[in-house]
Amino acid sequence: QSVLTQPPSVSAAPGEKVTISCSGTNSNIGSGYVSWYQQFPGTAPRLVIYDRNRRPSGIPGRFSASKSGTSGTLAITGLETEDEADYYCASWDRRLSVVVFGGGTKLTVL
């Protein structure tokens, strides 16, 4: 069981907006940063959001994130079929001195 809680799956049609939640505690998300990762089958994950709401070069502006208290949210607007992937959140847990990941959310673009 993962320390950060994500929905196992979400789905939406092309062009629509989808959000993925990541619930943690005061010792991880609540006192630090949450970052988001995208993973296609058979490939390594890649960073899509860091530092509250910044995107690495090459990540489209359709990706954004927010944080409120002990939860973070990834939002993808104007969904494209190429966004279909698994998404993970991660944070440093200052009480446990470990990195904690969410269990991952499979995004299906219908």
Complete DSSP assignment for 73-105: EEEE-S--GGG-EEEEEEEEETTTTEEEEB--E
Distance CA 61, CA 44 (A): 22
Binding mask 20-49 for other proteins (x = CB under 8 A): ------------xx-xxx-x----xxxx-x
Q: Provide CB contacts within 8 A for 43, sequence distance 6+.
A: none
92 interacts with other proteins by CB under 8 A: yes
Check if the beta carbon of residue 48 is closer than 8 Å to that of residue 36.
yes
46 or 78: whose CB is closer to other proteins? 46
Minimum distance, C-beta of residue 101 to other proteins, in the bound complex (Å): 5
Among 2, 21, 53, 77, binds other proteins (CB under 8 A): 2
Task: Tell me the site size for other proteins, rule CB under 8 A.
Answer: 29
What is Dmax (Cα atoms) for the chain? Answer: 41
Among 19, 30, 50, 77, binds other proteins (CB under 8 A): 50
56 interacts with other proteins by CB under 8 A: yes
Check if the beta carbon of residue 35 is closer than 8 Å to that of residue 50.
yes
Instruction: By CB under 8 A, name the binding residues for other proteins.
Output: 2, 32-33, 35-37, 39, 44-47, 49-52, 56, 86, 88, 90-92, 97-104
